[in-house]
Homo-oligomer: A and B are copies of this chain.
């Protein structure tokens, strides 16, 4: 069995692959920092060199407005085998606050079975598992059971800015049967997780213009509808008393959770008390949208949040001003099958409806992203379930994330392929925080799983 040989090869060369990971982690590829532009170029080139060395073809740096995408392929669309597009990112978060790191963020250190370094889990270590798997196949069998395409970007920590256009422009080259993303973590130390849903987003600024200029509350208090008061009154009308978003039509296309998914969610162990006290630290959880459990509300139901209210006087001390204007910054998380542009239209209509005649209001859509939901019965998802079982000895849970990954929806929409979000990190990997790490055993478990996944995918597609 070729997967067995590949796994044995990877195991026999653990030292080499750890060394390779450490080399990659040493490059401070902070994509958001202009001071690290050369490091970004170095990291991209390092990946391209690795792809060449492994034996991929068509290796290239696809230029973007900022940092290039590294591309490389094996096999051909003409082969009968299915084609996987493996996505990852070589940019990392800034390391600050640096003084809170126990070891230097860009001098990778192995301690207690973990590699400590910025980017270890997010996403250099996770993306490398697939390259190690590919090499292990090629060094042992001379071939891989599937066609592979690697698409490793450098702007993920900037919100994958511009990736939609890149995918669109190269959609022929990127054609595939499934997209694989390993940029996620297990549910707990023993339980893998496959993320099957991401929320979309619409982000707005609502400007409320009242008087021509700021006014004195002594002279004008009682004659003027204070724009901050209007802002508060409008915000209070964006949710109803049952915690639902009060925009007419908002829920019309929301896909209800299947009985299967609700049942699953109920049975995944989840400690609300711990969640409240350790993660949130508020006096009580928000009862939120009536009729849905907490886990449903944070992943599978749409929400509306206020991010800021600008206007008037907020410094120390006192100023008795009636501000001329107020601005509300807010966003909504959307779920399948809400269309962000349709929701933007409904929101703007609702704002017009609740605007009093005492002010002028303008609504600006700052950005939007589509929600995504992967069919859990898709062959690629089933292959992932089997691969986890073979690679780690456990079956994964299916979960949706409450966050937004625009690139997932972009891949699904443009390439018409399912996205397999299979991560190898652990929940305590300190992503975006000091002392980020990746467990060495998770890394090699990930390599094993990636090897199995390729074989399972090949088998799935040839099974009747």
A residues apposed to B, CB below 8 Å? 199, 201, 203, 210-213, 215-226, 228-229, 231-233, 235-236, 239, 275, 279-286, 288-289, 294, 297-299, 301, 303, 305-314, 317-323, 327, 329, 331, 333, 357-360, 366-367, 401-404
Contact = CB atoms under 8 A, between A and B. Distances in A.
A212 B279 CA distance: 8
A193 B54 CA distance: 92
Contacts of A309: 228, 231-232, 309, 311-312, 314
Residue among A220, A221, A283, A314 with max Cβ neighbours from chain B (10 Å):
A221
A219 B402 contact: yes
B402 A221 contact: yes
Contact of A307 (B286, B288, B320, B329): B320
Contacts of A312: 306-309, 329
A284 B318 contact: no
Given A285-B223, A318-B367, A331-B320, A218 B403 contact: yes
A212 B333 contact: no
A401 B218 CA distance: 8
A327 B314 CA distance: 8
Given A232-B235, A403-B218, A226 B306 contact: yes
A83 B219 CA distance: 32
A206 to B, nearest CB: 12
A402 B201 contact: no
B229 A298 contact: no
Nearest to A317: B366
A331 to B, nearest CB: 6
A282 B325 CA distance: 10
A201 B221 CA distance: 12
A220 B319 contact: no
A308 B211 CA distance: 16
Contact of A331 (B283, B318, B404): B318
A307 B313 contact: yes
B297 A321 contact: no
A223 B294 contact: yes
Nearest to A303: B221
Given A308-B311, A314-B327, A224 B357 contact: no
A211 B282 contact: yes
A206 B164 CA distance: 44
